Structure 1
Amino acid sequence: MAALARDGWEVTAASRGGGRDASWPGEVRAVRLDREDGRALAGVVGEGCDVLVDVVAYDAAHARQLLALAGRIGSVVVVSSVSVYEDARGRGFDTQTEPDGFPGYPVPIPETQRTVAAGEATYSTRKIALERELLTAGDRLPATVLRAGAVHGPFCRSPRELYFVKRNLDRRGRRVLAYGGGSRFHPASVHNIAELVRLAAARPGARVLNACDGEAPTVAAIAAAVDAVMGVTNETVLVEGAPPAPGVGETPWSVPYPVVADMTAAERELGYRPVVGYAESLPETVAWIERRLAGGDWREAFPKMVRAYGDLFDYAAEDAWWPGT
């Protein structure tokens, strides 16, 4: 919001709660909106707008809502996900729990990489349905689709950094990392995604672009970076291969093969340069997670993390596994 306002846009922020962040410039207008209500969306658009940014569009029905307003919108910027990609064997995020089901993507993954079939069955199939519905109507409504990686930053409802932050707050002292700590799941800072939105708003077009940070650190490097922010030192036990036991060594970034997005198209088409590095962005993320955790249960603070990952903090399982204990 702030970046768009600084560029001279008149910005309206629509959300279910209708709230605003204290960091937003005063001229940013905040309104309440139920994204599922097409009539309400049309009401917010009013007589028209130059750009509509949609970070909560999930399927073809949402795309059709936007297309119904094509005559009143100059262009749209819509956030999708790298989860739409599949490898040469047809494996993707939807097959990762199957035996040998994790995809072996090229490193890095270009936007031309094959994708899953469109449908309504999963998050990934719905996202690609959203993309295709929009892009086939690019002559009526120019759409920039941003395929985000592992999103991180304040206000994220499923902050992967919670995995290391809570362990440090609980003074665990040591941790297990599967796959030798070398897993790479390309992060995407909210600030870098915002920069891509800012650039795409100024250059309308029908395109798909990866939306990630400038670097894709290993999970071991992420753990060390969180430790540095929190001023703690931990023993790290590296395990080659898969997690050695249920609840042991598997983090929200733990993948057997790297998931790294190619960012050269965004650099070429939009002039994108990351505005923040991963380690540089961590202090505000860690501070926000600590505030959310203060005096409460992590499950209540981050229910989406529970739904996505289950019990991230099975300390009994870890203690039973520790070598030499």
Structure 2
Amino acid sequence: MVIGASGQIGRPVVQALARDGWAVTAASRGGGRDAAWDEGVRTVRLDRADGAALAAVVGDGCDLLVDVVAYDAGHARQVTGLAGRIGSAVVISSVSVYEDGAGRGFDTMGEPDGFPGYPVPVPETQPTVAPGEATYSTRKAALERELLAPGAGLPVTVLRAGAVHGPYSPLPRELYFVRRNLDGRRDRVLAYRGESRFHPASVRNIAELVRLAAARPGSRVLNACDGQAPTVAGIGAAIDAVMGVESRTAYLDGPPAGSVGRTPWSVPGPVVCDMSAAERELGYRPVVSYAESLPETVEWLTGALRGRDWREAFPVLAQAYPDLFDYAAEDAWRAA
């Protein structure tokens, strides 16, 4: 059973498990199905917040429960409460749970000197934020703690995903470059000399990790990222190559100047995760590189923007980055 099956991560997870021979029940709020799924995939409607409904869908039991939308300790307790009816579980968490040992993490990035000093790469043994209800990161930390509490009573693989990318994303970072190219903006500005690295995670690689963990149940925490962490300048160049355009890039030595130079990957230090544990424990090898994954993402984004304002098409992204396309500020910066 896959919870959140119709979302960005859920779609390829269902496809990968079905291809691997699992009889998959795809649960989502709308109960829809993806055209790429095998016809044997069963779909059901499920409100993730309704514990009774979740228990009813699980019914007499399932060999594997995959939860791609679990958010906090309450969701974790819903899963662990079904321990007697679930063989094992795989649950998606986030690399945002990491802190640097000095109390700095994703929640402090906007504060003066608040950017964490992570090791490169970040192993799963890195300290995490205290669990709680205050932020996305603390809620994910609480989710992990509750999920791992049963130990052998319910084998759970927690996958800490990086900057997730692929079609159907509510927060498609690649839009930063795609829309500029569609608008004919051949000049752009990148902060930190374009060297920012925020480890991406293709939905197809996450699905591969789910598939591997399903075949090797266990209680563990693993990073879930691509094989490489390209720079933001490298990402822009790769998107240009897919779209067949050439751009001119100016660089800021330091942070963004207001909105100028800011991208969804712009960080003053690297956020790069260690994938050796997944390789060692699951035999993980990325099924796709970042560059190889881009054509379908670019195609999907281009279609999603056709005839629509980007804020209407991607309200979550617009809320997180309201000045993502402040062309007037960029033009003024160049003129100065």
TM class by shorter-chain length?
Answer: over 0.9
How far did residue 199 of structure 1 move? 0.3
- Cα distance in 1 for residues equivalent to 2:38 and 2:16: 10
User: Does residue 1:275 correspond to 2:282, yes or no?
Assistant: no
Structure 1 residues 102-134: Cα deviation after superposition (integer angstroms, max 9, x where no partner): 111000000000000000000000000000011
Aligned to 2:272: 260
1:51 aligned to 52, 60, 64, which one?
Answer: 64
Deviation at 1:211, TM superposition (A): 0.1
- Where 2:93 maps in the other structure, the secondary structure is strand
* Equivalent residue number for residue 82 of structure 1: 95
Q: Secondary structure at the match of 1:3?
A: helix
Name the CA distance, whole Å, in 2 between partners of 1:219 and 1:21.
31
CA RMSD of aligned residues (A): 0.8
The letter for the 2-side match of 1:263 is M
1:6 Cα deviation after fit: 1.6
Partner of 2:169 in structure 1?
156
| 5+ long unaligned stretches in structure 2 | 1-13
Q: C-alpha displacement at 1:188, in angstroms?
A: 0.1
Q: TM-score with structure 2 length normalisation? A: 0.95
- Kindly provide the amino acid, as one letter, of the partner of residue 34 in structure 2: D
Is 1:40 aligned to 2:53, yes or no? yes
The aligned amino acid for 1:56 is V
Match status 1:127 vs 2:140: yes
1:47-95 deviation per Cα after TM superposition (whole angstroms, max 9, x unaligned): 1000000000010000000011111001110000000000021100000
Q: Does 1:110 align with 2:126?
A: no
Deviation (angstroms), 1:246: 1.3
Once residues 24 and 113 of structure 2 are traced to their aligned partners in structure 1, the CA distance between those partners, rounded to angstroms, is: 47
CA distance in 2 between partners of 1:201 and 1:215 (Å)? 24
Which letter does structure 2 place at the counterpart of 1:274? P
Question: Within 2, Cα distance between the matches of 1:10 and 1:226?
Answer: 37
Corresponding letter in the other structure for 2:132:
G
Partner in structure 1 of residue 4 of structure 2:
none
Select the residue among 226, 230, 244 that pairs with 1:231. Answer: 244
Describe how 1:152-191 pairs up with structure 2 within 5 A. 152-191=165-204
User: Which residue pairs with 1:101 in the alignment?
Assistant: 114
Q: Secondary structure at the match of 1:139?
A: helix
For this pair of structures, how many residues does the alignment match?
323
Q: Distance in 1 between matches of 2:310 and 2:151?
A: 43
Shift, 1:320, TM fit: 0.8
Q: Are 1:20 and 2:38 matched, yes or no? A: no
CA distance in structure 1 between the partners assigned to 2:243 and 2:29 by the alignment? 33
Supply the AA of the counterpart residue of 1:83.
S
Q: In the TM superposition, what whole-angstrom CA distance separates every residue of 1:209-242 from its partner, at most 9, and x where no partner exists?
A: 0000000000000000000111111100011111
The residue type equivalent to 1:37 in the other structure is D
Question: 2:102 & 2:61 partners in 1: Cα distance?
Answer: 44
2:297 matched to which residue of 1? 285
User: How far apart are the structure 2 equivalents of 1:140 and 1:311?
Assistant: 48
Offset at residue 297 of structure 1 (A): 0.7
* Map of 2:229 onto structure 1: 216
Aligned-partner Cα distance in 1 for 2:27–2:324: 32
What's the secondary structure of 1:14's corresponding residue? strand
Give the fraction of aligned pairs with identical amino acids, expressed as a percent. 76
User: Structure 1 stretches (4+) deviating beyond 2 angstroms?
Assistant: none
- The aligned amino acid for 1:307 is Q
Instruction: Report the alpha carbon displacement of residue 139 of structure 1 after superposing the two structures with TM.
Output: 2.3
Aligned to 1:251: 263
2:9 is aligned to none
Letter in 2 for 1:249: G
Corresponding residue for residue 153 of structure 2? 140
Matched residue SS, 1:66? helix
Measure the CA separation in 2 of the matches of 1:67 and 1:301.
36
The alpha-carbon deviation at position 46 of structure 1 amounts to: 1.0
What secondary structure, in the 3-state scheme, does the structure 1 residue paired with 2:152 have? coil
SS across alignment from 2:153: coil
Query: How far is 1:136 from its partner?
Result: 1.3
DSSP-derived class of the 1:261 partner: coil
Q: How far is the alpha carbon of 1:311 from its aligned partner? A: 2.2
Q: CA deviation at 1:198?
A: 0.1
TM-score by structure 1 length?
Answer: 0.98
One-letter code aligned to 1:183: S
Partner of 2:327: 315
Cα separation, 2, equivalents of 1:16 and 1:246: 39
Q: 1:301 aligns with which of 304, 310, 313?
A: 313
Mapped partners of 2:290, 2:168: distance in 1: 16
